[in-house]
Amino acid sequence: QQQVKQSPQSLIVQKGGISIINCAYENTAFDYFPWYQQFPGKGPALLIAIRPDVSEKKEGRFTISFNKSAKQFSLHIMDSQPGDSATYFCAARVYGPARQLTFGSGTQLTVLP
Protein backbone atom coordinates (compact mmCIF):
# COMPACT_ATOMS: atom_id res chain seq x y z
CA GLN A 1 0.00 0.00 0.00
CA GLN A 2 1.62 3.20 -1.16
CA GLN A 3 0.39 6.02 1.03
CA VAL A 4 2.18 8.77 -0.86
CA LYS A 5 1.93 8.74 -4.66
CA GLN A 6 4.52 10.71 -6.61
CA SER A 7 4.63 11.71 -10.27
CA PRO A 8 6.21 11.87 -12.73
CA GLN A 9 8.71 9.05 -12.42
CA SER A 10 11.18 10.98 -14.55
CA LEU A 11 11.40 14.56 -15.76
CA ILE A 12 13.64 16.26 -18.29
CA VAL A 13 13.84 20.05 -18.23
CA GLN A 14 15.94 22.59 -20.07
CA LYS A 15 18.26 24.81 -18.08
CA GLY A 16 16.34 27.81 -16.83
CA GLY A 17 13.00 26.05 -16.99
CA ILE A 18 10.59 25.16 -14.21
CA SER A 19 10.54 21.64 -12.80
CA ILE A 20 7.30 20.49 -11.17
CA ILE A 21 6.90 17.29 -9.17
CA ASN A 22 3.58 16.28 -7.69
CA CYS A 23 2.55 14.14 -4.74
CA ALA A 24 -0.78 13.00 -3.37
CA TYR A 25 -1.64 11.37 -0.06
CA GLU A 26 -4.59 9.68 1.59
CA ASN A 27 -3.83 9.70 5.30
CA THR A 28 -5.23 12.87 6.85
CA ALA A 29 -3.15 12.23 9.98
CA PHE A 30 0.00 13.28 8.13
CA ASP A 31 1.28 16.50 9.68
CA TYR A 32 4.59 17.21 8.03
CA PHE A 33 5.56 17.07 4.36
CA PRO A 34 9.25 17.25 3.46
CA TRP A 35 11.02 16.94 0.14
CA TYR A 36 14.36 15.21 -0.14
CA GLN A 37 17.03 15.44 -2.81
CA GLN A 38 19.31 12.50 -3.50
CA PHE A 39 22.44 12.49 -5.64
CA PRO A 40 23.96 9.20 -6.87
CA GLY A 41 25.90 7.44 -4.15
CA LYS A 42 24.59 9.75 -1.43
CA GLY A 43 21.86 9.63 1.14
CA PRO A 44 18.70 11.73 0.72
CA ALA A 45 19.09 15.28 2.02
CA LEU A 46 16.29 17.46 3.31
CA LEU A 47 15.50 20.17 0.78
CA ILE A 48 12.39 21.94 2.04
CA ALA A 49 9.37 21.03 4.16
CA ILE A 50 5.88 22.30 4.88
CA ARG A 51 3.18 21.80 7.48
CA PRO A 52 -0.47 21.49 6.41
CA ASP A 53 -1.52 24.81 7.95
CA VAL A 54 0.52 26.64 5.27
CA SER A 55 -0.36 26.70 1.56
CA GLU A 56 3.05 27.65 0.21
CA LYS A 57 6.65 27.79 1.33
CA LYS A 58 9.54 29.19 -0.64
CA GLU A 59 13.26 28.79 -0.09
CA GLY A 60 15.40 30.25 -2.83
CA ARG A 61 14.48 28.59 -6.12
CA PHE A 62 12.46 25.85 -4.39
CA THR A 63 8.76 26.22 -3.57
CA ILE A 64 6.30 23.80 -2.03
CA SER A 65 2.64 24.30 -2.85
CA PHE A 66 0.21 22.53 -0.53
CA ASN A 67 -3.50 21.88 -1.15
CA LYS A 68 -4.97 20.37 2.01
CA SER A 69 -8.48 19.85 0.62
CA ALA A 70 -7.16 17.98 -2.40
CA LYS A 71 -4.53 16.19 -0.31
CA GLN A 72 -1.85 17.13 -2.79
CA PHE A 73 1.45 18.94 -2.62
CA SER A 74 4.06 19.79 -5.18
CA LEU A 75 7.64 20.92 -5.53
CA HIS A 76 8.49 23.68 -7.98
CA ILE A 77 12.11 24.31 -8.94
CA MET A 78 12.47 27.67 -10.64
CA ASP A 79 15.35 28.45 -13.01
CA SER A 80 16.37 24.78 -13.00
CA GLN A 81 20.11 24.17 -13.26
CA PRO A 82 22.13 21.12 -14.37
CA GLY A 83 23.32 20.84 -10.76
CA ASP A 84 19.71 20.19 -9.74
CA SER A 85 19.79 16.88 -11.62
CA ALA A 86 19.03 14.32 -8.93
CA THR A 87 16.26 12.11 -7.59
CA TYR A 88 13.60 13.93 -5.62
CA PHE A 89 11.39 12.30 -3.01
CA CYS A 90 8.31 13.67 -1.38
CA ALA A 91 7.44 12.31 2.03
CA ALA A 92 4.84 12.57 4.75
CA ARG A 93 4.86 11.89 8.46
CA VAL A 94 2.35 11.06 11.18
CA TYR A 95 3.57 12.70 14.37
CA GLY A 96 4.32 10.30 17.20
CA PRO A 97 7.22 8.67 19.03
CA ALA A 98 8.51 7.12 15.84
CA ARG A 99 8.11 10.21 13.62
CA GLN A 100 8.16 7.75 10.73
CA LEU A 101 8.43 9.18 7.23
CA THR A 102 6.57 7.53 4.35
CA PHE A 103 8.25 8.30 1.05
CA GLY A 104 6.93 8.69 -2.47
CA SER A 105 8.48 6.59 -5.21
CA GLY A 106 10.89 9.29 -6.39
CA THR A 107 11.34 11.44 -9.49
CA GLN A 108 14.53 11.37 -11.52
CA LEU A 109 15.11 14.95 -12.65
CA THR A 110 17.51 15.71 -15.50
CA VAL A 111 18.24 19.33 -16.32
CA LEU A 112 19.81 19.72 -19.74
CA PRO A 113 22.50 22.39 -20.19
The dihedral region occupied by 69, where left means phi > 0, alpha psi between -120 and 50, and beta the remainder, is alpha
Q: Do residues 64 and 51 lie in contact, with contact meaning Cβ atoms separated by under 8 Å?
A: no
Question: Per rule CB under 8 A, is residue 51 in the interface with other proteins?
Answer: yes
| CA distance linking residue 75 with residue 56, whole number of Å | 10
Question: Per rule CB under 8 A, is residue 67 in the interface with other proteins?
Answer: no
Question: Per rule CB under 8 A, is residue 20 in the interface with other proteins?
Answer: no
By CB atoms closer than 10 A (0-12, 13-18, 19+), residue 105 is middle
Pick from 44, 84, 92, 111: which binds other proteins (CB under 8 A)?
Answer: 44
Q: What are phi and psi of 28, to 5 degrees?
A: -75, -5
Question: Per rule CB under 8 A, is residue 10 in the interface with other proteins?
Answer: no
User: How many residues at the interface with other proteins, by CB under 8 A?
Assistant: 26
Pick from 1, 69, 70, 97: which binds other proteins (CB under 8 A)?
Answer: 97
| CA distance linking residue 24 with residue 66, whole number of Å | 10
Q: Work out how close the CB of 16 gets to other proteins at its nearest, in angstroms, rounded to a whole number.
A: 27
Between 102 and 110, CB nearer to other proteins:
102
Site residues, other proteins (CB under 8 A): 31-32, 34, 36, 38, 41-46, 49, 51, 87, 89, 95, 97-103, 105-106, 108
